């Protein structure tokens, strides 16, 4: 369970202190022909009765309100960028918090693995005693013909030579047994056992010699593999014990550290949200003001267009003489 996840930039959180929202200057007052709706209606009627197009007047209305809303658009852009930057810092810390909490849960839920160290150690001790006893049995059998003890050592090690093999067909299932592998597994243990049998027949009865032969043969054949298997199990159990010890140390050291880092990040997130709130409030107020201006602009444009179209419709129904008299 690695704990080396890259942390967020702490210096950014420490130095990012957003400025207070900017107070907008009051809007420029509307010109007289826009402030007075009756005057705007008259403008629409005059444009409708004349040959003039309404596009220029509508463009003037939109240009005036565009000038009014330009500072609002700039402020909205600035507030949006500042809020987006703060949200990025918040997301970085929340991602880090989620990662640390996952690591913390894994560390708390991790349990020490079970081990058979005592049983394996006892088995290894018994195997060693068995091998030592068997060596003295071989040495006692060979001593009348070979007084030098090194001969017994060589015969014993030759019988145990199969323990150097990687595997044994006695411990495998579904293995194809070939003559080559049979000789490799059984050759030296059988030869050493037969050699001991020949020497035992000279000093012991036939029954004792045969019993000794069977005993040492199966010991040589199976004991070596069992000894190495036990040694491997002992190594694995020791590794498990060391891993359990490291897990205990990690729980004692890493759990408080992870909790402290999580609490620090939570405080930073709360501080960033507190800093973001004035910007959100100002953004909402600015957007509301922009909506108000756009609504007022559209209302005045529609008012002018409606009066223009009504006057233009009336103009189309008047005779030419009345039109000329209207503008004299």
Buried-exposed string 125-156: b where 16+ CB fall within 10 A, e elsewhere: eebeeeeeebbebbbebbeeeeeeeeebeebb
**DSSP sequence for 214-270:** HHHHHIIIIIHHHHHHHHHHHHHHHHHHHHHHHHHHHHHHHHHHHHHHHHHHHHHHH
Buried-exposed string 39-71: b where 16+ CB fall within 10 A, e elsewhere: ebbebbbebbbeeeebeebbeebeebbeebbeb
∠ CA(23), CA(24), CA(29), 5° rounding? Answer: 145
Per-residue pLDDT reduced to its tens digit, 134-147: 888 888 888 887 88
Closest CA to 227 of 244, 235, 172, 24: 235
Long-range contacts of 104-107 (CB under 8 A, 24+ apart): 104/255, 104/258, 104/259, 104/262, 106/1, 107/1, 107/250, 107/251, 107/254, 107/255, 107/258
Report the pLDDT value the prediction gives residue 113, as an integer from 0 to 100: 82
Provide CB contacts within 8 A for 250, sequence distance 6+. Answer: 107
Per-residue pLDDT reduced to its tens digit, 82-129: 999 999 999 999 999 999 999 999 888 888 888 888 888 888 888 778
∠ CA(174), CA(176), CA(181), 5° rounding? Answer: 130
Per-residue pLDDT reduced to its tens digit, 157-208: 777 766 555 555 555 555 565 666 666 667 778 788 888 888 888 777 888 8
% of the chain at pLDDT higher than 70: 79
Q: Compute the average pLDDT of residues 244-249.
A: 88
Helices (H), 26-116: 32-35, 37-49, 55-109
Chain centroid to CA 311: 70
Which of 14-23, 51-60, 165-174, 262-271 is least confident? 14-23
Long-range contacts of 169-178 (CB under 8 A, 24+ apart): 170/221, 170/222, 170/225, 171/225, 171/229
Residue 15: CB atoms within 10 A of its CB come to 8
**CA–CA gap between residue 41 and residue 32 (Å, rounded):** 12
∠ CA(218), CA(219), CA(223), 5° rounding? Answer: 120
- Which of residues 175 and 316 earns the better pLDDT score? 316
């Amino acid at each position: 369970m690695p704990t080396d996840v890259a942390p967020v930039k702490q210096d950014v959180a420490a130095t990012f202190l957003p400025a207070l929202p900017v107070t907008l200057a009051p809007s420029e007052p509307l010109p007289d022909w826009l402030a007075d709706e009756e005057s705007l209606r008259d403008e629409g009627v005059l444009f409708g009765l004349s040959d003039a197009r309404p596009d220029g007047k509508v463009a003037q209305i939109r240009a005036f309100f565009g000038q009014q809303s330009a500072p609002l658009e700039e402020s909205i852009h600035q507030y949006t960028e500042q809020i987006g930057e703060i949200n990025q810092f918040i997301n970085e810390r929340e991602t880090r918090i989620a990662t640390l909490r996952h690591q913390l849960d894994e560390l708390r839920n991790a349990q020490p693995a079970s081990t058979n160290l005592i049983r394996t150690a006892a088995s290894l001790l018994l195997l060693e005693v068995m091998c030592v006893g068997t060596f003295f049995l071989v040495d006692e059998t060979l001593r009348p013909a070979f007084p030098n003890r090194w001969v017994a050592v060589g015969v014993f090690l030759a019988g145990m030579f199969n323990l150097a093999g990687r595997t044994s067909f006695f411990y495998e299932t579904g293995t194809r047994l070939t003559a080559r592998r049979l000789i490799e597994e059984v050759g030296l243990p059988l030869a050493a056992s037969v050699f001991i049998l020949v020497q035992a027949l000279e000093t012991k009865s036939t029954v004792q010699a045969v019993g000794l032969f069977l005993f040492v043969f199966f010991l040589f054949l199976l004991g070596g593999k069992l000894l190495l298997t036990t040694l491997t199990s002992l190594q694995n159990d020791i590794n498990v014990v060391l891993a359990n010890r490291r897990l205990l140390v990690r729980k004692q050291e890493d759990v408080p550290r992870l909790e402290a880092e999580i609490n620090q990040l939570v405080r930073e997130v709360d501080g960033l949200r507190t800093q973001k709130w004035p910007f959100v409030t100002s953004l909402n107020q600015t957007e509301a003001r922009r909506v108000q201006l756009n609504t007022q602009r559209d209302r005045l444009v529609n008012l002018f267009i409606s009066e223009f179209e009504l006057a233009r419709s009336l103009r189309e129904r008047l005779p030419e003489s009345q039109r000329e008299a209207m503008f004299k």
